[in-house]
Amino acid sequence: MPRTPLSIAGAVLAAGVLALSAAPASAQPAPGLIDALRRDLGLSAAEASARVINEQRARDIEPALRDGLGDRFGGSWLNPSGRLVMATTHAGDVPAITARGAQPKLVTRPLARLDAIKAALDVAHGREKVAAWYVDVVTNSVVVLAADPAAAGSFVRGSGVDASAVRVERSAERPVPYADIRGGDEIYVDGKGRCLVGFSVRQGAKQGFVTAGHCGANGALVRTRPGGPVIGKFESVSFPRNDYAWASLYPGWNAIGYIKGGPSGQSPIRGATESYVGASVCSYSPVSGWRCGVIQQLNTSVTYPEGTVTGLTRTSVCSEPGSSGAPFVSGDQAQGVLSGGSGNCATGGTTYFQPIRRALTALQLTLVTAPR
């Protein structure tokens, strides 16, 4: 049964006024991340630090608001100033959203309806002719990107979805999974090539790591260099449809809760709380160093030559071929591993990452975090 606006007010007041509290210690950014935010988002050091803190606060208050809105929830994102925006289909929710420190926005379609439209597109015929599609919570619509808008229009009409909720945009994107690659902690996969360790994980007593699914195959052996000693093997791979995999490490190898952060040292990982549309996100690879941008859309489907991958997060972070599996972080929170994209860091581009929480849940893994 849908909740009433009154029940929302009770839920948010019970949660406390977190928006006005001091930032938690976990909001402290990893070494080098503030400099990357300044460079890539055009911020001052103070603005970059404030953004990290504001985004942590948004992560604190968003779940209670979302739960209170129930089936009236239209999506959430951060506006350019870093304030959390909560969309609702009911005007009566506005006071409670405002009281909690978020900015309300009235929309006509709940997020569940938009997700259902996107899910129908995920299995529709003709998807190989379009580059990507996603729910755009900011415009309360589903967007389809394609080089040929006419073909995209046929794809939408053939799916049987409500076409008034779908916007077709011409795009030159040609997403491909990065291949023959290397990373911070380079791994060489028999039969595949080089990739980057994303995040350390464990499954029971087994230690290992998550990386992009297209980096390996079930049972493939992992080495530190071509022809070098075997350090582990791929236990489970999902690609396409998803783009995640995990590999276990052989005895003598230890998975720790850090990612490489350049000359300043290691960057600790404290958890995997997901950020929202509009939030800053950064990725590290020795190919390009720290690179930052913003989350543009969640739950994006992408057509690769190998097939459609669903549930990816679309970002404005630039990346270079040779970075598959690279870790994406928001503050000290793990977000996902690099799947693919288009462009590069000289001309700009778009990258997609596989959300880490989806991989952890599907593969029954536990993220390894750094000690406090």
44-98 residue pLDDT tens: 989 998 899 899 999 999 999 999 999 999 999 999 888 999 999 999 999 999 9
Computed on alpha carbons and rounded to an integer, the radius of gyration of the chain in Å comes to 21
Q: What is the DSSP string of 64-104?
A: HHHHHHGGGEEEEEE-TTS-EEEEES-GGGHHHHHHTTPEE
Q: Which position among 200, 214, 267, 301 bears the catalytic label? A: 214
Report pLDDT for 18. Answer: 32
Known active-site residue 243: yes
For the full predicted model, state whether its pTM sits above 0.85: no
Report pLDDT for 11. Answer: 43
Report pLDDT for 267. Answer: 84
**Chain region(s) in the chain for CATH 3.30.300.50:** 111-170
- Give the whole-angstrom CA distance, residue 47 versus residue 50: 5
Structure-model confidence comparison of residues 297 and 4, the more confident one: 297
- Specify the range with the lowest mean pLDDT, choosing from 118-122, 165-169, 179-183: 179-183
Report pLDDT for 320. Answer: 86
Backbone angles phi, psi at 115, to 5 degrees: -65, -35
Structure-model confidence comparison of residues 5 and 248, the more confident one: 248
Q: Which position among 40, 60, 93, 243 bears the catalytic label? A: 243
Known active-site residue 125: no
Q: Tell me the fold of 258-356.
A: Thrombin, subunit H (2.40.10)
Report pLDDT for 177. Answer: 63
Q: How confident is the model at residue 265 (pLDDT cuts 50, 70, 90)?
A: low
pLDDT for 314-364, tens place per residue? 999 999 888 899 999 999 999 999 999 998 898 888 999 999 999 999 999
Report pLDDT for 16. Answer: 34
Known active-site residue 214: yes
Query: Does CATH place domain 111-170 in 3.30.300.30?
Result: no
The conformational region for residue 158 under phi > 0 = left, psi -120 to 50 = alpha, else beta, is alpha
The whole-chain average pLDDT of the chain stands at 88
Q: What sign for the dihedral angle of Cα 265, 247, 351, 165?
A: negative
Segment (H or E) for 334 = strand 333-344
pLDDT for 273-296, tens place per residue? 999 999 999 998 878 888 999 999
**Chain region(s) in the chain for CATH 2.40.10.10:** 258-356
Report pLDDT for 28. Answer: 60
Q: Which position among 267, 316, 324, 339 bears the catalytic label? A: 324
